[in-house]
Amino acid sequence: MPEKILVVEDNAAMRLSLVRLLLAESYQVAEAVDGEDGLAQYASFTPDLVIMDINMPRMNGLEAVKHLREFSGVPILILSVRSNEMDKVYGLDVGADDYLAKPFGAEELLARVRSLLRRRVHEKLATKPDVLRLGGGELVIDLSRQQALLNGQLVRLTPIESRLLFTLAERPGESFTHRQLLKAVWQGDPSGTTQNLKLYILYLRRKIEPEPEKPQYLLTVRGAGYMLAAL
């Protein structure tokens, strides 16, 4: 399956050039015209990499990076005409993974894209635990045994609750859209609706949260979906 890249760039000519370049390399590409549009596209597209311009209307690239980092560890490559050292340092400090000054060559951009995507794969393989311990060990999710313990007691889950919890546990700290969860959990069953998803999120919270009305493990990501809290 081709890797997905979101291009956030307000300059139409530059955006088109980037999209064509990436499509020619067989990536799946979505595009956005500013930071706000980028966040909305991220929620529906869930890319493997974000290419983000800085100077954009409504919400600039640095603000968008800060928002993304509240719920996602997706690799972010900043593009900017600002090329001095302090601009680069600030961009990296707010959460970007790489910074490329304009103008740049197509081959250099593609090399950086490949590097960030490789790093992402290696990090996932290296850090994927079999057992998640949240809340200082209060909630334990054992992926290999497909079971959860709350304060040492086995949490009894229905099949749908189990699929929902362990789908989220595959990528703690990363948001899943409603569409992704419906596909993974209900697998095409007509009962898989957004209303039922919200209902089962509520059921799960009642079973794994100390205070279901103030969830600390199973989190709602506004405009994006749901995620299991990062370790």
pLDDT tens, position by position, 159-198: 999 999 999 998 888 889 999 999 999 988 888 899 999 9
Domain boundaries, the chain: 4-127, 131-228
Residue 184, burial from CB neighbour count under 10 angstroms (0-12, 13-18, 19+): middle
Check if the beta carbon of residue 53 is closer than 8 Å to that of residue 96: no
State residue 194's pLDDT score: 92
Asked whether the predicted pLDDT for residue 123 surpasses 70, the reply is: no
* Alpha carbon separation from 166 to 132, 155, 163, 185, 207 (Å, rounded): 11, 13, 5, 10, 14
State residue 208's pLDDT score: 95
Asked whether the predicted pLDDT for residue 125 surpasses 60, the reply is: no
Q: Which CATH architecture has domain 131-228?
A: Orthogonal Bundle (1.10)
The DSSP bridge partners found for residue 139 are 134, 150
Of residues 189 and 24, the one with the higher pLDDT is: 24
Q: DSSP assignment, residue 156?
A: P
Q: How confident is the model at residue 87 (pLDDT cuts 50, 70, 90)?
A: confident
Of residues 183 and 129, the one with the higher pLDDT is: 183
Residue type, 182: L
Of residues 137 and 177, the one with the higher pLDDT is: 177
Asked whether the predicted pLDDT for residue 146 surpasses 70, the reply is: yes
Check if the beta carbon of residue 112 is closer than 8 Å to that of residue 98: yes
State whether the Cα torsion 30-33-35-41 is positive or negative.
Answer: negative
State residue 129's pLDDT score: 65
Three-point CA angle 190, 192, 193, nearest 5°? 105
Whole-prediction pTM: 0.61
What is the third-level CATH fold of 4-127? Rossmann fold (3.40.50)
Asked whether the predicted pLDDT for residue 231 surpasses 80, the reply is: no
State residue 139's pLDDT score: 92
Q: Where are the alpha helices (DSSP H) in 25-77?
A: 35-45, 61-68
